[in-house]
Structure 1
Amino acid sequence: MAATVKYDEVEAGQEIPAVEYQVRRVDLVRYAGASGDFNPIHWNERYAKAVGLPDVIAHGMYTMAQGGRFVTDWAGDPGAVVEYGVRFSSMVVVPDDDNGATIRISGVVEEKREDKRVVVALTAKSGDSRVLSKARAVVQLS
Structure 2
Amino acid sequence: MRAGEELPPLEIEITRTLIVAGAIASRDYQDVHHDAELARLKGSPDIFMNILTTNGLVGRYVTDHFGPRAVLRKVAIRLGAPNYPGDTMVLTGQVEEAAGDTATVRVLGTNGIGRHVTGTVTVAVPREVG
Determine what percentage of the aligned residue pairs are the same residue: 27
Q: Which residue does the alignment assign to 2:89? A: 103
Aligned residues: 126
For residues 23 and 128 of structure 1, the distance between their equivalents in structure 2, rounded to whole angstroms, comes to 13
Ranges in structure 2 where 5+ consecutive residues have no aligned partner: none
Give, as a single letter, the amino acid of the residue that structure 2 aligns with 1:75.
F
How high is the TM-score relative to the length of structure 2? Answer: 0.88
C-alpha separation between the residues in 2 aligned to 1:28 and 1:93?
8
Cα-to-partner distance string for 1:48-101 (whole Å, 9 max, x where unaligned):
11111121111121112111110010011265211111111221122xxxxx22
Q: Which runs of 5+ in 1 are unaligned?
A: 1-9, 95-99
Superposition map of 1:85-96 within 5 A: 85-94=76-85
Q: Does residue 137 in structure 1 map to residue 121 in structure 2?
A: yes
* Structure 1 segments of 4+ aligned residues over 3 angstroms from their partners: none
* Amino acid paired to 2:57: Q
- The SS at the match of 1:139 is strand
- Paired amino acid for 1:137: V
User: 1:106 corresponds to which letter in structure 2?
Assistant: T
Q: Which residue of 2 aligns with 1:123?
A: 108
User: AA paired with 1:123?
Assistant: L
Q: Distance in 1 between matches of 2:59 and 2:37?
A: 31
Equivalent in the alignment of 1:112: 98
| Corresponding position: 1:17 with 2:8 | yes
Matched residue type, 2:123: V
Distance 2:31 2:20 in 1: 10
Distance of 1:63 and 1:44 partners within structure 2 = 19
Structure 2 equivalent of residue 5 of structure 1: none
